[in-house]
Amino acid sequence: MKIFATLGTHPQPMDRLLEKLDELAGKGRLGKESDLFAQTGSCTHHPINFESKALLEARELEQRIKWADLVISHGGAGSIIHALRLKKKLIVVPRLERFGEHTDSHQVELAKAMERENKAIVVYGMDRLEQAIKDAAKFKPNLDSTRKDLVKAVKACLGPKGLGYGLGCGLG
């Protein structure tokens, strides 16, 4: 399985996801024929068991998503929309304030909406990542919603100023 992980461009690193992927890849736990590439953003961890690049140009980002069988993403709206628009199986790992990954934990609301609508598998703790990757092989995401509905739901999650303080996170 070809896996593309994107940790976005937010200035606070999300090393816990990158470290776990590196660990799983190093132990051969991603499957016999897995291939993994990550866009690491501001992470300070540098993977040794797979290729990565801090930032990708828009064209390369789209090529990597198209290439992948599975996208593993932080809970950023842009990354999620991109993967869903290209009809990719998606694992969402929201950035959490308690790990210093964001100024608050607003990505949890969007992740919950994706999970509720069966659009993504959501991982809140790294102890679940390996199983989520295995589950992704049989996961049949609901990709029927229109882009308009998805954008509406993301805006509801982000709130009026895009700060993650929206009150409604439904995708219907």
In the chain, where the domains are located: 2-142
* Separation between Cα atoms, residue 21 and residue 47, nearest integer Å: 8
CATH superfamily of 2-142: Glycogen Phosphorylase B; (3.40.50.2000)
Look at residues 153, 134, 142, 5 and name the one whose alpha carbon lies nearest to residue 77.
153
How do residues 77-124 score in pLDDT, each as one tens digit?
999 999 999 999 999 999 998 887 888 878 999 999 999 999 999 999
* Separation between Cα atoms, residue 153 and residue 170, nearest integer Å: 6
The pTM (predicted TM-score) of the whole model is: 0.84
